[in-house]
Amino acid sequence: MASLLDALVTGIVYGGIYALLALGLTLQYGVARILNLAYGDFLIAAAVFATLLYQRYQLSPLISLVVLLPASFVVHLLVYHLVFVQLERRRGSWRAMEASSILLAFGLSFVVSGAMLAIFGGQLFSYSYLLVPIQLFGSVVPANRLLALILALAFGAFAYLLLVRTRIGTAIRAIAVDPDGAPLAGIDVRRWAGFTFAFGGLICAATGVLISMFQTFNVPMGVTFTLKALVVVIMGGVGNAVGALFAGLILGVTESFVARFISPGLTLAAVYGLFVLAVLTMRTGIFGRALR
C-alpha cells in the first residue's frame, strides 16, 4: 500500500514536466493554430542558455528563468509576426496557410537546430541543480521535479482562467474556432494569436530551463521533445490546457507504475499504448471536447 502511494506521488511529480512540455505546444497548436515543429529546438535553446549561464557565470537557473522567459516571449512574438503573419498575408487566409505553416515550422526547426549545431556541435550538456530530496506524503522527490510540477499547475491554471474567464480569452477562443471569421467580430487576430503563440513560447523556455536542471541533453535532441509534447497534446485534446496538464500527469503515473510493478522495459510501450488507445477511443482528448 505504501509503495502504491509512493508510485502515485512520484509519478505525479515526474509527470509535471510532461504537462509543462505539452502546455506551451497546445497553446501554439490549438489556439494560435500553428503546429510549431521547432518547439523542441527552441526548448533546447533555452536549456543551453541556462546551462551555459550556470556553468560559466554560476548564475542560478532560477534567475535565468526570470530572464529567459520574457526573452523567449519576445523572440516568439517576432517569429510570429515576421514569419507566420507574412505567410498568412501571402496565402490570403488563415485556413489556407495552416498546411504551409507546418512546412515553414519544419524549416524553422532546421534553422534553429542547425545554428546551434554549428556553434555547439553534438556535445552533451549536463549539470545538477535543486537536487534536494523533499518529503511529500511519505515519498521522496527531487525539488527540481517538484518545481516543474508547480510551474505546470500555475501556467495551466493561468491559461485556463485567461481563456475561459476573461474577455480577451473569449476573443482568443474565437480565433481558435474561426480565424478567418473572427475579424468580423472586431477581433484583432494577428495581435491575439501572436500573443498566444508567444505565451506558448514562454512556457517552452520555462520547460527548457527546468529540463536542463535534471536531464542530460544535446542539440540534436530537440525533435524528441517536440514528439513527446505532441503525444501529450493530442492525448489531452488539441488546444485544451487542462487536458494537457492531466495527460502529462497520467503519463508520469503510468511510467511510474509500470516501471515499479511490471517492468521498466515496458514503460515506453505502455505510454504509446495509452496514446493509441486515446486516439482511437476519444476524438478530442481525455476531456471529450477541445477548449476551442
Write the CB contacts of 136 (distance below 8 Å, at least 6 apart in sequence). Answer: 9, 13, 146
* Residue 192 engages another protein in binding (rule: CB under 8 A): no
Q: Kindly determine how many residues on this chain lie close enough to bind another protein according to the rule CB under 8 A.
A: 50
Residue 7 interacts with another protein (CB under 8 A)? yes
Report the nearest approach of another protein to the CB of residue 209 (Å).
16
> Is residue 264 a contact point for another protein (CB under 8 A)?
yes
Cα–Cα dist 81/68, whole Å: 20
Residue placing its CB nearer to another protein in the complex, 254 or 284: 254
Query: According to CB under 8 A, which one of 4, 62, 103, 132 is a site residue for another protein?
Result: 132
138 binds another protein (CB under 8 A): no
What string marks each residue from 63 to 82 as x (binds another protein by CB under 8 A) or -? -------------------x
Backbone region of residue 63 per phi and psi (left: phi > 0; alpha: psi in -120 to 50; beta: other values): alpha
Between 48 and 176, whose beta carbon lies closer to another protein? 48
The least CB distance from residue 107 to another protein, in Å, is 8
Nearer to another protein, 189 or 221 (CB): 221
Closest CA to 174 of 31, 26, 16, 66: 31
Cell numbers found for residue 44: 533546447
- Mutual angle of helices 2-26 and 39-57, in 10-degree steps: 110
DSSP assignment of 164-211 equals HHSHHHHHHHHHHH-TTTGGGGT--HHHHHHHHHHHHHHHHHHHHHHH
Q: Binding segment for another protein among 9-17, 93-101, 186-194, 241-249 (CB under 8 A)?
A: 9-17
Q: Which of 62, 63, 99, 115 binds another protein (CB under 8 A)?
A: 115
Residue 60 grid coordinates = 542560478
Residue by residue, DSSP assigns 66-123 as HHHHHHHHHHHHHHIIIIIHHHHHHHSSHHHHHHHHHHHHHHHHHHHHHHHHHHHTT-
**Binding another protein by CB under 8 A: which of 121, 164, 188, 283?**
121
Burial letters 184-218, b for 16+ CB under 10 A, else e: eeebebbebbbbbbbbbbbbbbbbbbbbbbbeebb
41 sits near another protein (criterion: CB under 8 A): no
- Piece of the chain touching another protein by CB under 8 A; list 24-32, 154-162, 262-270, 282-290: 262-270
Instruction: For the CB of residue 38, give the shortest distance to another protein in the complex, in Å.
Output: 12
Residues that bind another protein (CB under 8 A): 3, 6-7, 10-11, 14, 55, 82-83, 86, 110-111, 113-115, 117-119, 121-128, 131-133, 140-142, 214-216, 218-221, 224, 252, 255-256, 259-260, 263-265, 267-268
